[in-house]
Structure 1
Amino acid sequence: MTAWNEDTEAGASELGAVTVVEGSSFCISSHSGDVHGGGSQGAYYQDTRVVSRWVLRINGEPREPLVARNPTAFQAEYVGRACTEDGRFESPLLVQHQRTVGSGLRDDLTIRNYSAQPTTCAMELLIDADLADLFDVKGGRASNASETVRWAQGPDLHIESLHADGQRRGVSFQAQGATATEDGLTFNVTIPARSHWSTTVIALPLLNGQAPDNPFIAGTPLSHSVAAQRYVQWEEHVPRIRLTDQNVTDVLDQSQRDLGSLRIFDDNHPGRAAIAAGAPWFMALFGRDSLLASYMSLMIDPSLAAGTLQTLAGLQGSKVDIDSEEEPGRMPHEVRLGVSAGLSLGGTAYYGTADATPLFVSTLGELSRWGLGEDIIESLLPHADRAIDWMEQYGDKDGDGFIEYQRPNKHGLVNQGWKDSWDGINFADGTLAETPIALCEVQAYAYAAYVGRSLLARAAGDTAVERRCADRAEALKAAFNERFWLPDRGYFALALDKDKKPVDSCTSNMGHCLWVGIVDEDKAPQVAERLMSPEMFTGWGIRTLGSDMGAYNPVSYHNGSVWPHDTALAATGLMRYGFVEEASKVAGGLFDAAEHFGGQLPELFCGFDRGDFTNPVPYPTACSPQAWAAAAPVQLARILLRFDPDFTRSVLHLAPILPASLGTFKADNVLLGRSRITVEASGSSGSVTGLPAGLELRSDPRPPLTGELFG
């Protein structure tokens, strides 16, 4: 079985690799478009590598790559120069290669002859498919499939293998004008002077001999593909955001494109989209990641949160299973489709997470504020109640009021919060904390879950549930501020360990506690001061671990790096408690970092101080695009607008504090309830056009909820 505690990071991708993504399918290739065997490159469908080698030779030689680009997330275009028959690159032959992923792989190849003479080409496409599970590739292990069978039949090459679960996984390669061999496909063509020759190569995945729905078909316009149609619909659906600051506009545009590319769809509910965690290795539903990303994306498309909640609800735990760590009411950590998922996860879904379950309830509560379908909210309330039952019965096994985690097996995650690396939870002196562990941000999420469920009950007129959840929230807040606060340090402990001893390292996790409002007002100034200290704030973002801590390493995964989503949530917390200048400074640093990353924030980057290097230093195995990194700029824009709809109270708060450097802000086509509104802002003034009937616009920030609940 996969040791989860050894494999939480993304596997390394080759330098200069080109990645295309559509749903859970993706392809990683070299800059030339070739896929070379032996590494992580390849095309993946349903967590199985269906192409492990794709090498084009023309007249026995590779192309000379000229350019590669991604016009859309699901497409790549490569241009290269082919050798002549005598082996010279100084040739009139130009190769244009368009790659599209979806239910397999489609490569459209065109060779243009710019010579005044006809040219003969011998083309060879060397092909292989190891049909390896994604987990094996990511972990650098050999495929566990049985012996692979290959056979050529006319223009088609078939590759198939039998897997541990008894399923036959295979792929068929086909191309117009090809002759298939066991090594690949060959073409012999003559290209007239000043003319071109084209073909389409399709890799068709097969499961027990059956092709997927909506396969690629040669000759069918790419605009008819499912991926292209989804892309067009997304572009028409999402807001159009423009600022005077072109950098921030470009960052927000990139975020929208990335979020669109990371959507995954349920075949049984094709109109329902959820968010995958990130490309290339995490193109799957992850409870925590998908929920936080969909929360931060509400201003772009609240239906993503609805789809994510509905999809998770269908996977909610119903029994106790030590292998997969499923428990009644628990939400899954990760859902996979590959043939080895049962071996790696204990099932296709793995439930080892402490935070996805309370985040499910709090996200549902936040979604209700956006007026997106009372029927959706109502249908999910039973799942929210089962989630709260899990929090109280299984999450809090020792009955002290806090949610703890401890894996019940040897292959699950050792750490089950968002810092889930094996060494991510440590004391100030660097020693590791031992489980069971109660993380500070998990208690904050639980508090938000109780508050959210209380308000949902209030809207439904259920006073008994409203009062019970409000009382639980109040008790949890009081206990949290008493047990986790370190008065001599001026910040909250990262966690309580197995002996209920505070894990006293200074981390970014307490920024999440500010975000949801569990922090007492008298403690917030010290938390804000610590988050903005030189030990925590790099100038680009907030470190996961203070530079004065024993385990600090700016090039670590969770012990000193900067994660954009983490920084964005901390900035949200700073804004919530009225630290406007500090929140604006953090937002500005992260937008500046995004500019250095070409407008696309990665999963994480190194935690070096801004004064040490001109640019933020990339982390070598960071995912990009990655869901909550893509959503972070959207969340930052929202907090600078202080844009907070609340259909449960019939109000919309808009109290902008836009820095002068950003200039004016305008967003058309923002979905609010069943209306499409336009939001405009400049400095401290803002307006809304198309406000839904019955919703009052207020120019003050959204007030804390705690006073109304407990006052």
Structure 2
Amino acid sequence: MMEPRWHRDPETRSHSPGAIEPTLVLKDGPLFFVQSSDGQPASSEGGLFFKDMRLMKPLCWTLGGHPVSVLSTHLYAAHRGEVDWTNSPLTWDGTTLLPLTLHGRMTFVLAHQRLFIRIRLKNFAPMAVAVPFVLDLHSTFDDIFQVRSVVPRDHSRAPIIPDMGTREVRFSHVGQHGRTRTFSVAVEPDPTAIDVPASERAAMTFKPSLSPGASAIFSFEVAPTDEESRRPSAAALSRRVFRAALHQSRQAMSWVHAVTQIDTDNTDYNRVLEQNSHDLRALITAYPEGRIVEAGIPWYVAPFGRDAAITGLEALLLTPGLAQDSLAYLAHWQGSRLDPSRDEEPGKILHELRQGELAGSRQIPHTPYFGSIDSTLWWIITLYETWQWTQNHHWLVRLAKPLERAVGWILEYSDPDVDGLLEYQRQAEHGLANQGWKDSVDSILDTAGHVPAGPIALVEVQGLAFAALNKAAAMLAMLGKGSLAEQARRRADTIQAAFSAQFLPLAAEPPVYALDGQKQPVRALTSNHGQLLFTGILPLDEAEWLGRRLLRPDMLSGYGIRTLSSQSPFYNPMHYHNGSVWPHDNAIIAWGFRRIQAWHALQVVADQVYQAARHFPAGRLPELYCGFSRRGAAGPVPYPVACYPQAWAAAAPFFLLRQLLGLEIVGPRQIILNRPLLPRWLNRITIQNLEVAGGTAAFRLTRDAVAGGVTCTDLGGDVAVQTMASA
């Protein structure tokens, strides 16, 4: 039979020539896979994960008892990875094998909630070779919170003994929640041996005899099973591997044809947009309650309210369906009662929902957990922006009740001390102490370096609430809920007045970062301040001053705006929230720059995030990176445990592009490009199949080298495209 031509996939995204990415990250639905490319024990955080449980650690493999030497890695969209490797110098059965003699190509495919593996081993030596290849499997059945070391592993549980057949190994575990989790590893052809070197492990050994130029192919299928899993196909395993790759290739191409098609004269920028588009597709997961974009791999493959809402907003330029699905899913789980054990309140949008063993046995509160002060605010903001983008009033009507409940939460529960501001304080024993987007325990520190006592009122949360209530009032008025709309407007005015009195300084300095439980100010210049700019809560002169302040070297790293000024005594460029750079954070700040017409600042931020993306493999933006100052042509310093991919980081390039385009919806089937900008690395951009304003738009922007500025050509969609003078 002819060998499958894996390289024909039209959506191939390989790394730069000769590059070796140490880790492959793949996802399909609730299944994701984090694997070191050299097959050696690496970080303890990788492996195969399914529904909040790590089934097994990363695969390990050896050739002739020695590690292999990786030649290259390739990523195909977000569902398939490929590793090419060769042998190191080795002696086996009295024969010395020179390096670069045997070639191995391992292909990993995630499809149909299974991991498929194909290994081709080819002999380039002038003599026959029979060297054992060993694939080591190590089951764990650890909850994701145990992998993260948030909750200790239960070492008292019974050992997992593999159930071995001729061509299959099966691992099973009965969790504390009473459910049985199982995964099986099928192989074709028969291995030479299957050994159990220790509990929880199994090693498959293959020793093909390869004449000069000959190849051997091994196929594997790793199938997680629970009550909802499907039976595997009866087809030969080698055929199933090929069909899985073909299926995912078709799914990826269907996505490409369904979403907005963007093409520019910059191939690097095209690569960034294409890879991050595929990552967004991979992060969408279907549940019985609907579809939602999950937050990121490996730690946050779960529904997160804040992340999903912001990602949906950022990705409107790519597809409004992502926001529509995620908002509806979150509405299904909207808080309905007072439950301090989960920080739940009526109308509140969830923070995080888990379905693993610890959640099922109620050892963690994520069933769901509601400890977020701003998820509800972002849900309202994204609802409004999606309604405006689509001009779909019928869709808004379907979410009218959740909107009313969300506004009700702001009016009733968000200001417990009735001082006009929104505050949070943890009620759940195992909940989050900090409940803004910077939710690490030390993201807010007073002048002495202590975590302030709550309740905490955050600076950007007041702006988000002001914007959310005004947007909600517009939607409620359209829905015929005039009384509630007026209440929302009055509450917005109250927030703005309280904010001006308690957060705005008398001199030229940033607003207060936060107020502690005694209403004492916590002062620091952070990226949170930048998120105020789009909300309209600041007077224009204050907003313009703040916009300029964010571009000074202590905030601007060269690869984006830092989370904390480098002048702060608590600045650490390697800290999760106190000095790092987050792409989504910068995209939101860029939205504010457009609102206040800070054209230069908008271009600077868009350029710096793009320059950062160029340095990451395949143009895939991580959750965050370190905030060290840029050093010439050197790229940003990676944050060692960043999620990669991360939804709101993957969507950030599309939101930044929207801000550069100045795309605004005038009405049904009418959009305007308000003072569009082309960055210095773009001379042309063509956008087609843009689902907006109740129709489809297509246009091209071109830099006018003679007259200066940007010219727009309408390419004939059923949405009229107009342009205001370019900046």
TM-score under structure 1 length normalisation: 0.89
Deviations 1:211-249 (A, max 9, x none): 447779622233577644432221212222223344333
For residues 450 and 646 of structure 1, do their structure 2 counterparts lie closer, same or farther at Cα, with a shift above 3 Å needed?
farther
> Which of residues 231, 252, 256 in structure 2 aligns to 1:231?
252
Give the letter for the 2:552 counterpart: S
Secondary structure of residue in 2 paired with 1:669: strand
Deviations 1:593-616 (A, max 9, x none): 222334333222222223688432
Question: How far apart in 2 are the matches of 1:630 and 1:216?
Answer: 37
Question: How far apart in 2 are the matches of 1:246 and 1:474?
Answer: 47
**TM-fit CA distance, 1:696:** 7.0
**TM-fit CA distance, 1:369:** 1.0
Partner of 1:591: 610
**TM-fit CA distance, 1:363:** 0.6
Partner of 1:706: none
Question: How far apart in 1 are the matches of 2:622 and 2:134?
Answer: 37
**TM-fit CA distance, 1:300:** 0.6
**TM-fit CA distance, 1:207:** 2.2
**TM-fit CA distance, 1:306:** 0.6
Aligned 1:283-298 pairs, distance under 5 A: 283-298=301-316
Indicate if the aligned counterparts of 2:677 and 2:726 stay in contact, CA closer than 8 A.
no
Partner of 2:102: 93
Give the letter for the 1:139 counterpart: S
Question: How far apart in 2 are the matches of 1:614 and 1:156?
Answer: 47
Is 1:158 aligned to 2:170, yes or no?
yes
Deviations 1:622-648 (A, max 9, x none): 222211122222111111111122447
Is 1:361 aligned to 2:361, yes or no?
no
Partner of 1:621: 641
Indicate if the aligned counterparts of 1:53 and 1:129 stay in contact, CA closer than 8 A.
no
Question: How far apart in 2 are the matches of 1:129 and 1:485?
Answer: 55
Deviations 1:168-217 (A, max 9, x none): 11211111222544433344534455332223111111226x64477796
For residues 111 and 576 of structure 1, do their structure 2 counterparts lie closer, same or farther at Cα, with a shift above 3 Å needed?
same
Indicate if the aligned counterparts of 1:205 and 1:212 stay in contact, CA closer than 8 A.
no
Is 1:28 aligned to 2:49, yes or no?
no
Give the letter for the 2:153 counterpart: A
Partner of 1:11: none
For residues 700 and 513 of structure 1, do their structure 2 counterparts lie closer, same or farther at Cα, with a shift above 3 Å needed?
farther
For residues 504 and 235 of structure 1, do their structure 2 counterparts lie closer, same or farther at Cα, with a shift above 3 Å needed?
same
> Which of residues 303, 323, 336 in structure 2 aligns to 1:318?
336
Aligned 1:569-584 pairs, distance under 5 A: 569-584=588-603
Aligned 1:392-431 pairs, distance under 5 A: 392-427=411-446, 430-431=449-450
> Which of residues 174, 183, 187 in structure 2 aligns to 1:171?
183
Secondary structure of residue in 1 paired with 2:378: helix
**TM-fit CA distance, 1:575:** 1.6
Partner of 2:349: 331
Partner of 1:149: 161
Partner of 1:206: 225
> Which of residues 127, 135, 140 in structure 2 aligns to 1:130?
140
CA RMSD of aligned residues (A): 2.8
Partner of 2:16: none
For residues 576 and 37 of structure 1, do their structure 2 counterparts lie closer, same or farther at Cα, with a shift above 3 Å needed?
closer
Question: How far apart in 2 are the matches of 1:572 and 1:332?
Answer: 25
Question: How far apart in 2 are the matches of 1:457 and 1:213?
Answer: 48
Question: How far apart in 1 are the matches of 2:288 and 2:674?
Answer: 38
For residues 186 and 596 of structure 1, do their structure 2 counterparts lie closer, same or farther at Cα, with a shift above 3 Å needed?
closer
Partner of 1:111: 121
Is 1:76 aligned to 2:81, yes or no?
yes
For residues 53 and 654 of structure 1, do their structure 2 counterparts lie closer, same or farther at Cα, with a shift above 3 Å needed?
closer
* Structure 1: gaps spanning 5 or more residues: 1-13, 703-711
Is 1:47 aligned to 2:52, yes or no?
yes
Give the letter for the 1:632 counterpart: A
Question: How far apart in 2 are the matches of 1:133 and 1:479?
Answer: 44
Question: How far apart in 2 are the matches of 1:334 and 1:106?
Answer: 30
**TM-fit CA distance, 1:110:** 1.8
For residues 549 and 119 of structure 1, do their structure 2 counterparts lie closer, same or farther at Cα, with a shift above 3 Å needed?
closer
For residues 212 and 139 of structure 1, do their structure 2 counterparts lie closer, same or farther at Cα, with a shift above 3 Å needed?
farther
**TM-fit CA distance, 1:412:** 1.0
Secondary structure of residue in 2 paired with 1:201: strand
Give the letter for the 1:158 counterpart: R
Question: How far apart in 2 are the matches of 1:636 and 1:174?
Answer: 45
Give the letter for the 1:240 counterpart: Q
For residues 321 and 213 of structure 1, do their structure 2 counterparts lie closer, same or farther at Cα, with a shift above 3 Å needed?
farther
Task: Number of aligned residue pairs: give it.
Answer: 683
**TM-fit CA distance, 1:359:** 0.9
* Structure 2: gaps spanning 5 or more residues: 1-19, 197-201, 703-708
For residues 649 and 462 of structure 1, do their structure 2 counterparts lie closer, same or farther at Cα, with a shift above 3 Å needed?
farther
Indicate if the aligned counterparts of 2:710 and 2:726 stay in contact, CA closer than 8 A.
no
For residues 90 and 292 of structure 1, do their structure 2 counterparts lie closer, same or farther at Cα, with a shift above 3 Å needed?
same
Give the letter for the 2:175 counterpart: H
Question: How far apart in 1 are the matches of 2:503 and 2:234?
Answer: 55
For residues 606 and 275 of structure 1, do their structure 2 counterparts lie closer, same or farther at Cα, with a shift above 3 Å needed?
same
Question: How far apart in 1 are the matches of 2:715 and 2:491?
Answer: 39
Question: How far apart in 1 are the matches of 2:628 and 2:214?
Answer: 53
Question: How far apart in 2 are the matches of 1:483 and 1:650?
Answer: 41
